[in-house]
Chain A
Amino acid sequence: MNRGELLKLYKEMLVLRNFDEMCLNLKMEDLIMDGFHPYSGEEAIAVGVSSVLNKDDYVISNHRPQGHSIAKGSTTRAVFCEMLGRRGGVSQGIGGPMQWIDYENNFYCGSIVGSGMTIAAGVTMALKKEKEGRICVCYFGDGASNTGSFHEAMNLASIWKLPVLYILENNQYGEAMPAAEFVSVNPISKRGGSYGIEGITVDGNDVEAVYETVNTAVKKARTGIGPYFIECVTYRTRGHYGGDPEHTYRTREEVEEWKKKCPIKRVKVKLEAMGVSEMELDGINKEVIAGLESDKDWALEQRFPTLEEATDHVWIPSE
């Protein structure tokens, strides 16, 4: 990747990291009223994947959706509002921090683990009939790979040759349980073989590796060669949720070891080797933080939905 391309991804990852850290504080201040699941440490996946998607492609995400949504094109202002349950949010504040729709960006997420897998199969069944080369990415975690819908969806996607990319973010833990204790295979991508899908495992903390792998798969999926199952190996450097007593199930040393493999630091080192000054890179970070602070302040001034608005978009049959 050249310097310009890498700088763009660097900045996008910084947006996700800073957004996440600000949300963690909002959660501690009791301003986010539902579960918030930090994405810190996993940014290379959302950014690498989205860099090869078009606006009219679909993304189905899970209970940790903020990075996926912003990388797909949702504005940080609208996602802040949604986190805070305010009008102006991607779903006008009636979705909350883990279930929203960004209609304009074809982005959908929900908090029921594994639920997106079969939805993505349905979406891509429609896209296949449409024959316009659009695809769908479905993000899920190591825990979700044990749900029934994972296996149903993989089989359907394979038998119908659907233009879908199942992106497994293996962040090593299903809540507080290490993946090695509950997933029967390692790498998890081996499970693709059971359904005739080629499973690929990639370093999920290397944004260029994610980009290369996904780019190849997306190009093929657009021409009807698919589906794909790509496992991105990563680590969430924050707890499962804001306030998670994470050190009861993993050691500080383990977290610190993974922080050394931080996807943002890795790109920073590479950019410095390409001749970009540390001052310029820190300047980008400051600019990102200033923009996010202003978006957050704006979001905090927006009103809450009214009780009547809570049933907007809900179909209530008349007698």
Chain B
Amino acid sequence: MSIFFNMPKLGHLMEEGTVVTWHKKEGEIVTKGEILLEVETDKTTLEVESSVTGRIVKLLADESDVMAVNEPLVELEEI
């Protein structure tokens, strides 16, 4: 079953964030709590932990893409 990791809301007024760097590639396994990517908000750049565990099927955004809060960033499959 597919699970999705979405753009997190990292600040009270944040509406969108820019993907800075992916720390994981397609096909790799990410575990809950592991750093998945870096996101730039209007205030700062933050390392974002994965809230799920799974194998990455597809990264749905490229580096420097701007994504809205709650928009899917990663499609994963359960392991």
Contact = CB atoms under 8 A, between A and B. Distances in A.
A and B form one complex: yes
Interface of A: 25, 27-30, 35, 242-243, 245, 247-248
A28 B44 contact: no
Contact of A243 (B6, B9, B45, B51): B9
Contact of B6 (A27, A29, A35, A245): A29
Interface of B: 6, 8-12, 14, 43-47, 51, 69-70
Contacts of A247: 47
Contacts, number: 27
Contacts of B43: 245
A28 B46 contact: no
Given A243-B8, A243-B11, A30 B46 contact: no
A247 B43 CA distance: 14
A29 B51 CA distance: 10
Nearest to B6: A29
12 contacts: A25-B51, A27-B9, A29-B6, A29-B8, A29-B70, A30-B9, A242-B10, A243-B10, A243-B11, A245-B43, A245-B45, A245-B46
Nearest to A24: B51
Contacts of B10: 28, 242-243
Contacts of B14: 243
Contact of A29 (B9, B12, B44, B47): B9
Contacts of B11: 243
Q: Which of A27, A30, A243, A245 has the largest number of chain B CB atoms within 10 A?
A: A243
A35 B9 CA distance: 12
Given A29-B70, A243-B9, 20 more contacts: A25-B51, A28-B8, A28-B9, A28-B10, A29-B6, A29-B9, A30-B9, A30-B69, A30-B70, A35-B12, A242-B10, A243-B8, A243-B10, A243-B11, A243-B14, A243-B46, A245-B43, A245-B44, A245-B46, A247-B47
Contacts of B12: 35
